[in-house]
Amino acid sequence: MTDTQPQQVATTFVSLADALVADFDVLDFLAQLTERAVDLLAVDAASVILADGRGGRRPAAGSSERPELVELFAAQARQGPSAACVRVGTVVTSPELAADADRWPEFTDLAGRAGFRAAYAIPMRLRDDTIGALTLLSSTNGELTGDRQALGQGLADLATIGILQQRAISREEIIYEQLQATLHRRTVIEQAKGVLAESGDLEMHAAYLVLRGYARASGRRMSDVARDLTTRTLNVDEVLGGRPHAAGADEPGQEGVRRDRPGS
């Protein structure tokens, strides 16, 4: 094993496995998984994209909700190592993104502007089907070593288990029904982030932390809280009012991040 300690690996996998309880929040689980991937694999960002069952791919979770990364995560569902990985079902790497500019112009441009120099996509497989990809982004050039690739595959497999947990997978329609439900919940969360960002004058990443913190503090799924916010059955001020306690537990110093206003 490289710089990653065996105890850190064991703790990460046990912690993620413990999250797979009844009625768990799959999007929160995937977000935690991408955050752990960054720490465990010594990369700078990570994300999960899923096949939508109609020949397309969509982003489901990422290690950060900063706007430039959300834009990049969306782009990699269209082109780049992630899209190629889902299509061919094997690991696809770009140890030097600049060398792949002609192959993936949109992705490499956005990645370069965000400060990334290499990308690695690891398939999320269910038997013979590839249902998504775990993508790792690095600010330095280089290959993904064997040990790190093996750990990444383990995390990708755990992500697959998380999506399909407690489902009797026997027909293709059931698989894609679950994928569609996961992607729909992600869309609702994006809408709720917008509501919180506008009402609380927050950056989008801070709005996400508020949403996630409130959901955890109230013992509810993040997608359920997001749904109630967007349908106005939950008061936005109630969620924003819980920001110092809920968001601070996740990422100290982020709870008060606000957008700069002109002239402020």
- Is residue 217 within 8 Å of residue 177, measured between CB atoms? no
Q: Which residue has the higher pLDDT, 246 or 49?
A: 49
Mean pLDDT of 119-123: 96
Report which of 50, 78, 80, 52 is spatially closest to residue 62, judged by C-alpha positions.
50
What is the rounded CA–CA span in Å between residue 186 and residue 75? Answer: 16
197 residue type, one letter: A
pLDDT at 11: 74
pLDDT at 186: 81
What is the rounded CA–CA span in Å between residue 222 and residue 189? Answer: 8
pLDDT at 264: 37
Give the model's confidence band at 52: pLDDT under 50 very low, under 70 low, under 90 confident, else very high. confident
**Any residues with CB less than 8 A from the CB of 177 and at least 6 apart, and which?**
none
| Cα 67 from chain centroid (whole Å) | 13
Residues of the chain with CATH 3.30.450.40: 6-166
Q: pLDDT tens for residues 172-227?
A: 555 666 677 777 788 888 899 899 999 888 988 889 889 988 988 888 888 889 98
* pLDDT over threshold 50, residue 31: yes
CA dihedral 73, 124, 108, 3 (to 10 degrees): 100
Q: pLDDT tens for residues 146-172?
A: 888 999 998 898 888 877 764 444 345
Mean pLDDT of 36-55: 89
pLDDT at 257: 40
Q: pLDDT tens for residues 233-260?
A: 888 888 988 643 333 334 433 444 444 4
pLDDT at 260: 43
- Is residue 77 within 8 Å of residue 107, measured between CB atoms? no
Q: pLDDT tens for residues 81-119?
A: 999 999 999 999 999 999 999 999 999 999 999 999 999
- Is residue 125 within 8 Å of residue 160, measured between CB atoms? yes
Pick the CATH number of 6-166 from 3.90.79.10, 3.30.70.100, 3.10.20.30, 3.30.450.40: 3.30.450.40
pLDDT at 176: 64
* pLDDT over threshold 90, residue 25: no
Give the model's confidence band at 47: pLDDT under 50 very low, under 70 low, under 90 confident, else very high. very high
| Lowest-pLDDT choice from 12-16, 115-119, 121-125, 254-258 | 254-258
Give the model's confidence band at 19: pLDDT under 50 very low, under 70 low, under 90 confident, else very high. low
Can you say whether residue 80 is alpha, beta or left, with left for phi > 0 and alpha for psi between -120 and 50 degrees? Answer: left
What is the rounded CA–CA span in Å between residue 164 and residue 221? Answer: 17
- Is residue 207 within 8 Å of residue 255, measured between CB atoms? no
What is the rounded CA–CA span in Å between residue 13 and residue 58? Answer: 25
What is the rounded CA–CA span in Å between residue 87 and residue 97? Answer: 19
**Three-class secondary structure assignment of the chain:** CCCCCHHHHHHHHHHHHHCCCCCCCHHHHHHHHHHHHHHHHCCCEEEEEEECCCCCEEEEEECCCCHHHHHHHHHHCCCCHHHHHHHHCCCEEECCHHHHCCCCHHHHHHHHHCCCCEEEEEEEEECCEEEEEEEEEECCCCCCCHHHHHHHHHHHHHHHHHHHCCCCCCCHHHHHHHHHHHHHHHHHHHHHHHHHHHHHCECHHHHHHHHHHHHHHHCCCHHHHHHHHHCCCCCHHHHHHCHHHHCCCCCCCCCCCECCCCCC
Give the model's confidence band at 134: pLDDT under 50 very low, under 70 low, under 90 confident, else very high. very high
